[in-house]
Amino acid sequence: METRESLIEVEKLTKHFKVGKNQVLHAVDGISFTIHKGEALGLVGESGCGKSTVGRTLLQLYHPTSGEIKFEGKKLKIDHSSDDAKQYRREVQMIFQDPYSSLNPRMTVLEIVSEGLLIHQPNMSKEERRENVIELLELVGLNRNHANRYPHEFSGGQRQRIGIARALAVQPKFIVADEPIAALDVSIQAQIVNLLKKLQKEKELTYLFIAHDLSMVKHISDRIAVMYLGQIMELAESEELYSQPLHPYTAALLSAIPLPDPNLERKRERIILTGDVPNPINPPSGCRFRTRCPQAMDICSQKEPIWKEVQPNHFVACHLYQNSELVKKETLLTKG
C-alpha cells in the first residue's frame, strides 16, 4: 500500500465511563490508528467491545478521557463554541445503525435532509435547499416525490438511504458509519454497501465503517481493525487480514464465517472460544483476550502486549509476535 495522506490520526485514545459511585467502565483503552484520505477503515468486533464509542468519540459526541485526535494534522480541542469546532462538525458526519429511531417521525424527508444546510449554510434560499435535497435523494436512489413524505412511509432500506442523504448534505470529508446495515434485511444490506462504495468514489469520502459482520465489512474496507474489550488486537489491509490473520482472536472470528463451498466448509476447523467476554469494569491483567485465548501463555497474564507493526502495514498486539523470529516462522507456516 503506497504512502497516503492521513485524514484522522488517533494516539492512545481512551474513553472511560463512570458507573455508580466508584466503578469505571473501560469502553476504549489507549488505542492508536490512522485513517487515510479516501479510504474505508473497517472496525469490527463483538458487541460491547467499544466500536461505537470510538466512532462517537471521533465525532466529539463523547469527550475523550485521554489521548489525542488529529484531523488533517490539527489536534482537536473540546471548545464546542469555536469556529474550528463548527467547521469540524460540518466536515464529519454519522450514519446511524437504526434507521427507524434515527429519523424524526414528525419531520418530512425534506426537513430532515436540509437540517444541516440550515445550520451550516443559513444564507441558502428555501428553493435552493429544496433543489439540493432533491439532488441528494436522487443520488441515494430515491426520487423528488419522497421529499414531502414522513419516515413511517418508508421501508428500512429507504430510511437508511434518507440517513445517508442527510449525512451528505453538508458535503463532509469523513463519515462514521455505525453498523449501517445491521438493522436491515439481508437482501437490502448489499444494496446499501454498494451505494456507500459508489458514493465514496464519487464524493472522495473517507469512512470509518463499524460492523460486527466480518463477511460484509470486507467488501467495503481497504483496511480492517479488530477490537476486543476496548483495545485493538490487529490492523491490516483487508485481503491480508482475511488470508493471514495473526492474532488468535481474529482467526477465531474469521473461522465463524460460512464458506460458500460446502466441501471446504466441511473440511475446515472452527475455532471455538470458551467462556464469556470479561466485564469491562474489571478487565483482565496483561492481554485482554488471554482468558479466552487457546494459545495463552504465562506472560499473557503478566504483561500487556505491545502494539507493533510486525509485517509491512500489518499491526498486532500479541505476545506470540513480540519476537520478530516468531513472525517470520508463522509467515512461512501460513504460506507453506
If asked whether residues 225 and 284 sit together in one domain, one would say no
* Amino acid 20: pLDDT: 83
Q: What pLDDT digit, counting tens, does each position of 143-198 carry?
A: 999 999 999 999 999 999 999 999 999 999 999 999 999 888 888 999 999 999 99
- Whether residue 154 contacts residue 140, with contact meaning beta carbons closer than 8 Å, is answered with no
- Whether residue 212 contacts residue 57, with contact meaning beta carbons closer than 8 Å, is answered with no
If asked whether residues 167 and 63 sit together in one domain, one would say yes
Give a yes or no: residue 54 inside a domain: yes
CATH number for the domain that contains residue 209: 3.40.50.300
C-alpha closest to that of 251 among 262, 243, 259: 243
What domain range is 129 assigned to?
Answer: 6-229
**CA separation for the pair 116, 283 (Å, rounded):** 40
Residue 327 predicted with pLDDT over 70: no
If asked whether residues 196 and 299 sit together in one domain, one would say no
If asked whether residues 176 and 90 sit together in one domain, one would say yes
Residue 304 predicted with pLDDT over 60: yes
Give a yes or no: residue 234 inside a domain: no
331 contacts: CB under 8 Å, gap ≥ 6: 244, 311
Largest CA-CA distance found in the chain, in angstroms, rounded: 68
Give a yes or no: residue 204 inside a domain: yes
If asked whether residues 181 and 253 sit together in one domain, one would say no
If asked whether residues 179 and 258 sit together in one domain, one would say no
Give a yes or no: residue 236 inside a domain: no
Residue 19 grid cell? 458507573
Give a yes or no: residue 17 inside a domain: yes
If asked whether residues 220 and 257 sit together in one domain, one would say no
Give a yes or no: residue 235 inside a domain: no
**Structural domain count, the chain:** 2
Q: What pLDDT digit, counting tens, does each position of 123-135 carry?
A: 899 999 999 999 9
Q: Within 10 Å of residue 90's Cβ, how many Cβ atoms?
A: 17
Q: Choose the final residue of a domain: 229, 260, 275.
A: 229
Calculate helix-pair angle for 156-168, 186-203, nearest 10 degrees.
20
* Amino acid 216: pLDDT: 81
If asked whether residues 79 and 142 sit together in one domain, one would say yes
If asked whether residues 182 and 268 sit together in one domain, one would say no
- Whether residue 161 contacts residue 142, with contact meaning beta carbons closer than 8 Å, is answered with yes
113 contacts: CB under 8 Å, gap ≥ 6: 133, 136, 137, 162, 165, 166, 169
